């Protein structure tokens, strides 16, 4: 907006006020002329009004000069205002052009008042995505896992399909368990909320499930084992710790690049070491509890011939042989069976989430 526009209502009245004043002066002059004519009609023998008449004529000339001066002032005022408006509009245009050039270069400095409705929406959306990047990444991993199961589960491509499905199951189970346990832990923590715990736990579970399944499959293949189930306790402990360590590193990288958090190299290292330690510890704890507590076995799901687990393992071992394919139903059965198999480990995830909340609270206290 041009500056003169702020006072336009007052400035535009100047010319009309001066014109009205000039009109009033002319009316006054006309009255003086009428009075002068009336005085001249009086018989000088009755009353000599010569001096009065001369004075009135002089006053009339004066008023005429004032009227002409006011008329000239009105014209000059109008011209002045037109010049001011032109100059002000040119200046405003130049300022806006420079301002827009500046904001094109430094968009993040543009105040909300300078943004259009779409720009405000887009800025808000970007800020929301920065804050919710974990939720978006989790959704992406889950969608990818579901697509793998839908489009790969029924194909006969042998070990590749088996690996992809194993990774997908790790993502889906990790998302479910991590989200639920993380949400409960977050709700109990004074430094978090259920939704924050749910978001962080689901992301950590999805990514951890993917990494652990991938690393476990790689180790099993390199050591000549038939499946991940044949890994030793030590191998599982190292795999669990390594998966959690990489999850920590990737989480910090996301917070650094998406949210803009200032994370030092030392914090990357300490968080990774802490996660590695908790991964190893809770894997060992799960095994110890598994030796004390009988595993949960449900007929038809993860127990007995013809159970979900049996169908899944049979198809997994024979996929690709003589054109044999793995049905999507078998994949879903395997997903359910492995979920029941890991019930004890799922419970331990709650205590791992509480440990993570405590670690985050400690870091916040130290940095305060």
pLDDT tens digits, one per residue of 38-91: 555 554 555 544 555 556 555 555 656 666 665 666 666 667 777 777 777 777
Q: How far apart, in whole angstroms, are the C-alpha atoms of residue 351 and residue 118?
A: 45
Which pLDDT belongs to residue 345? 84
One domain, residues 252 and 350: yes
Read off the pLDDT of residues 89-113 as tens digits, 9 standing for 90 and up.
Answer: 777 777 777 777 776 676 666 676 6
The dihedrals phi and psi of 302, each to the nearest 5 degrees, come to: -125, 25
Domain boundary among 53, 75, 110: 110
Which pLDDT belongs to residue 114? 65
Q: Supply angle C-alpha 57, 62, 67, rounded to 5.
A: 125
One domain, residues 199 and 81: no
Domain boundary among 76, 110, 144: 110
Altogether, the residues listed in the chain come to a count of 368
Q: What is the token pair recorded at 166?
A: 């194993």
Which pLDDT belongs to residue 134? 93
Q: Which structural domain, as residue segments, surrounds residue 210?
A: 124-296+342-363
One domain, residues 77 and 128: no
Query: Does residue 310 lie within any of the structural domains?
Result: no
One domain, residues 287 and 199: yes
Helix (H, G, I), strand (E, B) or coil at 230: helix
Low-confidence stretches of the chain (pLDDT < 50) are: 1-2, 6, 43, 48-49
Domain boundary among 110, 138, 155: 110
One domain, residues 258 and 133: yes
Query: Does residue 199 lie within any of the structural domains?
Result: yes
Q: What is the token pair recorded at 127?
A: 């800020």
Q: Report whether 18 contacts 70 (CB < 8 A).
A: yes
Q: What percent of the chain has pLDDT over 90?
A: 24
Q: What is the token pair recorded at 320?
A: 């690709």
β-sheet bridge partners, residue 299: 303
Report residue 251 CA to chain centroid gap: 17
The total of structural domains in the chain comes to: 2
One domain, residues 56 and 140: no
- Express the helix, strand and coil content of the chain in percent, nearest 5 each: 85, 0, 15
Which pLDDT belongs to residue 247? 95
């Amino acid at each position: 907006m041009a500056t003169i526009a702020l006072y336009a209502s007052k400035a535009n009245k100047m010319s009309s006020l001066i014109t009205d004043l000039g009109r009033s002066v002319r009316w006054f002059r006309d009255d003086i002329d009428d009075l002068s004519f009336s005085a001249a009609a009086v018989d000088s023998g009755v009353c000599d009004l010569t001096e009065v008449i001369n004075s009135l004529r002089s006053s009339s000339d004066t008023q005429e000069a004032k009227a002409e001066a006011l008329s000239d002032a009105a014209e000059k005022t109008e011209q002045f205002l037109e010049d001011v408006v032109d100059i002000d509009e040119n200046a405003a245009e130049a300022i806006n052009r420079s301002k827009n050039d500046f904001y094109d270069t430094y968009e993040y400095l543009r105040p909300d008042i300078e943004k259009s409705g779409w720009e405000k929406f887009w800025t808000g959306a970007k800020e929301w995505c920065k804050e919710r990047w974990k939720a978006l990444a989790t959704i992406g991993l889950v969608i990818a896992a579901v697509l793998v199961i839908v489009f790969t589960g029924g194909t006969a491509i042998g070990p590749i399909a088996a690996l992809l499905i194993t990774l997908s199951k790790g993502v889906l189970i990790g998302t479910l368990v991590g989200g639920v346990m993380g949400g409960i832990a977050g709700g109990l923590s004074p430094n978090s909320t259920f939704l924050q715990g749910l978001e962080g736990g689901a992301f950590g579970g999805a990514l951890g499930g993917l990494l652990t399944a991938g690393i476990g499959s790689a180790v099993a293949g390199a050591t000549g084992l038939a499946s991940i189930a044949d890994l030793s306790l030590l191998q599982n402990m190292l795999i669990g710790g390594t998966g959690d360590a990489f999850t920590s590193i990737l989480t910090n990288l996301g917070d650094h690049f998406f949210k803009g958090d200032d994370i030092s190299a030392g914090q990357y290292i300490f968080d990774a070491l802490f996660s590695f330690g908790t991964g190893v510890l809770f894997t060992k704890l799960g095994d110890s509890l598994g030796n004390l507590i009988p595993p949960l076995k449900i007929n038809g799901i993860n127990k007995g011939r013809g159970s979900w687990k049996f169908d899944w393992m049979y198809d997994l071992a024979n996929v690709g042989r003589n054109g044999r394919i793995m049905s999507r139903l078998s994949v879903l059965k395997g997903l359910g069976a492995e979920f029941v198999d890991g019930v004890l480990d799922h419970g331990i995830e709650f205590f791992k989430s509480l440990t993570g909340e405590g670690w985050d609270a400690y870091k916040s206290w130290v940095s305060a």
